[in-house]
Amino acid sequence: MKLRYTDRSKDDVELAFAWYERQRRGLGFEFLDCIEIAVKSILENPEMYRIYYSIFRGCVIRRFPFSVFYTIEDTEIVVHSVFDNRQDPEKRP
């Protein structure tokens, strides 16, 4: 199955990466590695993760307080948000 990131999810990743890099050099890349692991897991078994609401599923990222929210479409998996779990849950996609 193909994977597609929405503009929002790309922005989420870029903002978090920049913030972690400001905290400690290299930490942003560690964050990206954890996202990559989560996305690979989603691609291997997209239905493994629970539905949080409507058709949106979520995968909690290891080590960082973020979740990947995605939908399973006919021909692709769409990542809608890489959400900072410390935010107000009402801001989820």
Q: Which pLDDT score is estimated for 1?
A: 85
Q: Which amino acid is at 62?
A: R
Quick one: tokens of 93? Answer: 């996609």
- What the chain holds in terms of domains, given with CATH numbers, is 2-91 (3.30.2310.20)
Span 29-40, average pLDDT: 98
Check: CB of residue 46 under 8 Å from CB of residue 77: yes
DSSP β-bridge partners for residue 74: none
Span 9-19, average pLDDT: 97
C-alpha–C-alpha distance, residues 23 and 70, integer Å? 28
Between 15 and 92, the more confident residue is 15
Q: Which pLDDT score is estimated for 91?
A: 66
The percentage of residues in the chain with a pLDDT greater than 90, rounded to a whole number, is 86
Q: Which amino acid is at 18?
A: A
Give the tens place of pLDDT for each residue, 50-84: 998 899 999 999 999 999 999 999 999 999 999 99
Q: Which amino acid is at 57?
A: R
Q: Which pLDDT score is estimated for 86?
A: 87
C-alpha–C-alpha distance, residues 23 and 88, integer Å? 23
